[in-house]
Amino acid sequence: MDYPTRLDFCDGKYTVIYDFRTGQSECLRYGQPWRQLVGDKMVLAMFDRVVELQAEVAVLKAELQAASARLVEQEHASHSAYGNVIDEIKAELEQWQRSVCDQGEVIENLKAELAAVTQQAETRKLALDAAVSSSCVLEAERDRLAELCRDAACQAEAVPQCTHKYEIDSDHPNHSCCQNCGEILKDGVHVQPVAQARSRAGMLAAAEMERSKGK
């Protein structure tokens, strides 16, 4: 850099001049000659030191400005990076929200399917209960018919008592037949076998069972 020939101090109140080309060496006060500095090596040394410090200050200012510029660039880069990270986080959040919504729809569909299956199970249970009830009714009816069969068998064990109403057979004048039970008399003697009477009692029981089934 060019070596200065003058320096101002105290906001321009004092001006120190060292011009080696012209040989001027003095100090001005408010721009007016004040002191001669010829041969004053202390002031010259101070002048040189001030010049060196000003040069160092200029270098430091340049470095500070460069560092400030780099810091601004880094801040911009950081803001950009942060912006990218924030955008990525927002995208992930939106994706997560969509996933939650999709899961909600899946859950609702599963609930609907579960409700349908539950309804089907209830319907089948009602049908099964009806079938069980019908089976119980049939079981009771079967027991009743079995009881009727047992009663008929017991009745068949004994000769049924009948208020006989006999009529003479026109083809066999010595034969008489009861119109109620079919018992036959021949010359006043019973000739109808007991097995036939039992068979007739069984037929009556079977007819009763058929009527019960029809109901």
The pLDDT, as a whole number, for residue 53 is 92
The pLDDT, as a whole number, for residue 136 is 82
Closest CA to 90 of 102, 101, 82, 78: 82
Q: What is the pLDDT along the chain (215 residues), one digit of tens a residue?
A: 577 888 899 998 999 988 878 888 899 999 999 988 888 888 888 888 999 998 899 999 999 999 999 998 888 887 777 777 788 888 888 888 888 888 778 788 888 888 888 888 888 888 888 888 877 878 888 888 888 877 777 766 554 556 666 666 666 666 666 666 666 666 555 555 444 444 555 555 556 666 666 65
The pLDDT, as a whole number, for residue 90 is 86
Q: Give the Cα separation of 180 and 163 in Å (integer).
A: 8
Q: Give the Cα separation of 95 and 88 in Å (integer).
A: 10
The pLDDT, as a whole number, for residue 30 is 93
Q: Give the Cα separation of 156 and 46 in Å (integer).
A: 156
The pLDDT, as a whole number, for residue 214 is 61
The pLDDT, as a whole number, for residue 128 is 83
The pLDDT, as a whole number, for residue 62 is 93
The pLDDT, as a whole number, for residue 200 is 52
The pLDDT, as a whole number, for residue 57 is 93
SS3 at position 40: coil
Residue recorded with tokens 């089948």? 124
The pLDDT, as a whole number, for residue 175 is 64
Q: Give the Cα separation of 91 and 98 in Å (integer).
A: 11
State CA 74 to chain mean position distance: 46
The pLDDT, as a whole number, for residue 193 is 45
Q: Give the Cα separation of 112 and 136 in Å (integer).
A: 36
